[in-house]
Every structure is written in structure tokens, then in C-alpha cells.
Amino acid sequence: MSSVPAPTSNSPATLPKVAPIAFIVLSLAAFGSGVSQRVTDPLLPRMASEFSVTLAAASWVVTLFTIGYGCNQLFFGPLGDRFGKYRVIAWATVACAVATLLCAAAPNFNFLLAARLIAGSMAAAIIPLAMAWIGDVVPYEERQPVLARFLIGQILGVAAGQLLGGVTADYLKWQVPFLLIATGFAGVSFLLFATQRQLPPHALAARASTINDGHAIERMFREFAEVLKKPWARVVVMTVFLEGACVFGGFAFFATHLHTMHGLALSTSGMVVMLFGFGGFLFASASATFVRRLGETGLARVGGMLLFVSMLVMAVAPCWQWAIPACFMTGLGFYMLHNTLQTNATQMAPERRGAAVSAFAAAYFIGQSCGVALAGLGTAYIGTVGVIMAGGIGVMLVAINFARLKARTLGSKN
């Protein structure tokens, strides 16, 4: 059940290397995506007050972004395979700039929800297609550290989103972060188009579908069906769905928990929660060492345990200072587990890598949307303490199960 095919004349191992600037610009696009995803988390109490809605209702600005993000993987994966992944990412950043401006211009809460749905739908192309493109141009044995370094942009974006949202909640108009994000996306789109013109032909190549019968939508779903015929692909996709639901069902309420349980200002809460991103940055910076010492199964196990302990501490700590190491370790544990899943996703169906990684990302963000929606409802019954604890227990069980199944596949290849 080997997941790593032997190199061929068209495999990344036999093709010319791509200039580092191409990866750096993609990482900048991932930064914008990360900011967009998490900027509204600390803003939830402010938006509930601003638009006279409940906290559970306000959480839909998070949920609808992730629903749009997740569902549109089904569209962008095959589109990237058909027209070239780098090209589609460049155009998607233009659409992100426009959609984020719509968020800033929202005259009422329903318009904002619709704009967030569109923004998530457009951002859906960036990280999954970038991962698939890296899979096309970087050999498997070198891929996990490259993916980790690429994701530094997204990791720092998550941290910046928490900080920007928190500062906005206390000191600025709620429209300000959306205007800044839109400006950033516009600048990154310019860089992507400029970089695209310098890429070698194989880095811009499109792949025609091997399924030629039926309409475009029918072919698209057949591509995903072919991916999910593989048993290991089903394991990876289901695991990342549950990971997204458990981790972000709790994480989306970290800032709110600090504000309501410990009386922290939302700006201070955002600054504390942004340490999640710095935990991820530690993993990305030392990913080669982590991979060498722990391997994929070890990263999954240790990451799951770190998530459980840190989310438990976050939920029940008697004072807010405990949240400082808890947020940092939550980020470290999450990226240990998630980067391992990402690496497996890039190789679970190499012949349909765009569709495969898009299926992975769709499951991840649909899982997030389900988790946040359920947690939002859960806060009315078990509070933020309960939803954060439930997320920690759930992700620990998910990580242990994945590590067990991964160890079994590795044993079957020896």
C-alpha cells in the first residue's frame, strides 16, 4: 500500500527546481487567507453588540466563511488541474480582494454574512492549490519541510488575524480589518501575476482530466470519486474533517472565553490567542528536525496529546496567564498533526493531485464549519469551558487513531 510512487520522467524528482520566490509569493497569499479566516474570532462579542444579535448568531460570520471555503474546494481543485494551479491562485486573490471589500461595505448583518460566504469561497483556491502545486514541483522526500515553510505565511496570518480582530474590537471600526485585508490581497495578486511569467513550463502545466465523458460538473464529481476509491485517501479525508471540527470548534471561542471568563479586553485576548500562530511558526521553522526525530506517526501522536493538554488548560485554568503557554502549545500541537495530514494528502492520489488536495481541504473546512456551528450552539448549554474541553478530547482521539492507522500502512510496506 505504498503511497510514494517511483520517480518517472515527469515526476518532481526529475524536473528542474523552481526559484524560491515562487514559494515566497504563495506564502504571502496564504498569509492573506489566514488573516481572513481568523480575523472575526475576537470580533464575535463586538459584532453581537454591533448588530444586536446573540453570540451564537454572530459566530455565523466564522461558520459561513468556512462553509464557502470548504464547499468550493470541489470547484477549484479540478479547475486548477485544468488551467494550471498557479494561474488560478493568482486570479483567486483578485476575487478575494473584491469579496473582502464587500465585507467592509456591508450595510447590515445579513449582507455581511453573504459577503463572508463569498470571501471564503474565493479564498478556497489559495492554500489547497498551492499545496497541490508544491506536490507537482517538489519531490515527496523533500516535501514536508517545504510545505511547512510555505505554511509560515498562513500561520503568521492566523496570528495577525487574531491580533487585528482583537485590536479592532476595542479601538477601531469593525470595517477597518476588511479594508486592510482587501488591500493586501490586491498587492499579492500583482506579485503572483509577475512571478507567474517567470516560472518554467512544467510549473505552469495544466492537466487534462482523464475522465472525458459527461458534463463538466459530472466529470468533476467523478474525479473526486476516483480519489475516494483509495482506502488511504478516505482515512486522510475523514481524519482532517474531524480534526477541523474538534480543534476549531474550540479555538474559535478562545478569545471570547478569555473575555467572558477572565475579564480580559478583546484586544488583549487577541494578543494572547495569536500565540497559537507562534507555536505553529516554531514547528515550521524546525520542521525538518521534528520530522527526522518523530516521523509521521510520532508527529500525529505528540501533536494530538499537546492539543488535548493545552486545550484542557485553556478551558479550566484559574487565571488568564495560563492561556499564554496554552495558546502557544495549541499551535505547536495543531501544526504537528495538520502538517502530517497535509503531506499525506499531497500523495494520496498523485495522478489527480489537484482534486485530491481539494477534497482534503474541503473536508477540513467543512469540518471547521460544522465544529464552529455546533460549538456556537453548545455555548448556550455548556459554555466556552465545555466546548473547548470537548474539542481537546475529540482531537486527541482522532490523532491517536490516525497514528495507529499510519503505523499499520508503514508496517505493511516493510
Residue 209's pLDDT is what? Answer: 46
Residue type, 105: A
Q: Name every residue whose Cβ is closer than 8 Å to that of residue 95 and which is 6 or more positions away in sequence.
A: 122
Domains of the chain: 17-207+214-413 (1.20.1250.20)
Q: Name every residue whose Cβ is closer than 8 Å to that of residue 250 and which is 6 or more positions away in sequence.
A: 311, 314, 315, 371, 375, 387, 388, 389, 390, 391, 392
In which residue are the cell numbers 490523532 written? 399
Q: 16 falls in which pLDDT band (50, 70, 90)?
A: low
The closest alpha carbon to 252, from 244, 263, 241, belongs to 244
Please tell me the distance from the alpha carbon of residue 134 to that of residue 24, in angstroms, as a whole number. Answer: 12
Q: Name every residue whose Cβ is closer than 8 Å to that of residue 175 and which is 6 or more positions away in sequence.
A: 103, 104, 105
Q: Region 208-212: what's the mean pLDDT?
A: 46
The closest alpha carbon to 185, from 98, 120, 66, belongs to 98
Q: In terms of pTM, does the model score above 0.75? A: no
Q: 90 falls in which pLDDT band (50, 70, 90)?
A: very high
pLDDT in tens, 275-302: 988 898 898 888 888 988 998 999 999 9
Q: 38 falls in which pLDDT band (50, 70, 90)?
A: confident
What's 199's DSSP letter?
S
Please tell me the distance from the alpha carbon of residue 77 to that of residue 73, in angstroms, as a whole number. Answer: 6
Torsion sign across C-alpha atoms 391, 399, 73, 32? positive
Q: Region 198-217: what's the mean pLDDT?
A: 58
Residue 2's pLDDT is what? Answer: 39
C-beta separation of 234 from 228 below 8 A: yes
> Could you give the 3-state DSSP secondary structure of residue 349?
coil
Residue 6's pLDDT is what? Answer: 43
Say whether pLDDT at 13 is over 80: no
Percent of the chain with pLDDT over 70: 89
Residue 404's pLDDT is what? Answer: 94
Say whether pLDDT at 59 is over 90: no
Q: 413 falls in which pLDDT band (50, 70, 90)?
A: low
Say whether pLDDT at 339 is over 50: yes
pLDDT in tens, 357-411: 778 878 887 898 889 889 988 988 899 999 999 999 999 999 999 999 999 887 6
C-alpha cell at 413: 510496506
Residue 75's pLDDT is what? Answer: 79
Q: What is the mean pLDDT of the chain?
A: 85
C-alpha cell at 314: 485553556
Residue 20's pLDDT is what? Answer: 77
C-alpha cell at 403: 497514528
DSSP string for residues in 251-318: HTTHHHHHHHHH---HHHHHHHHTHHHHHHHHHHHTHHHHHHHHHHHHHHHHHHHHHHHHHHHHHH-S
Q: Region 246-257: what's the mean pLDDT?
A: 90
Percent of the chain with pLDDT over 90: 40
The closest alpha carbon to 73, from 381, 361, 386, 286, belongs to 361
Residue 191's pLDDT is what? Answer: 94
Return the minimum-mean-pLDDT range out of 1-10, 233-242, 316-325, 350-359. Answer: 1-10
Residue 4's pLDDT is what? Answer: 41
Please tell me the distance from the alpha carbon of residue 232 to that of residue 302, in angstroms, as a whole number. Answer: 21
Residue 28's pLDDT is what? Answer: 94
Residue 214 φ/ψ region, left for φ over 0, alpha for ψ in the -120 to 50 degree band, beta for the rest: left
Say whether pLDDT at 178 is over 90: yes
Using only the alpha carbons of the chain, give its radius of gyration: 20
C-beta separation of 406 from 304 below 8 A: no
The closest alpha carbon to 304, from 391, 387, 405, 368, belongs to 391
Say whether pLDDT at 7 is over 60: no
Q: 11 falls in which pLDDT band (50, 70, 90)?
A: low
- For Cα atoms 237, 242, 243, give the angle at the middle one, nearest 5 degrees: 95
How deeply is 385 buried, as exposed, middle or buried, from its count of CB atoms within 10 A (0-12, 13-18, 19+)?
A: middle
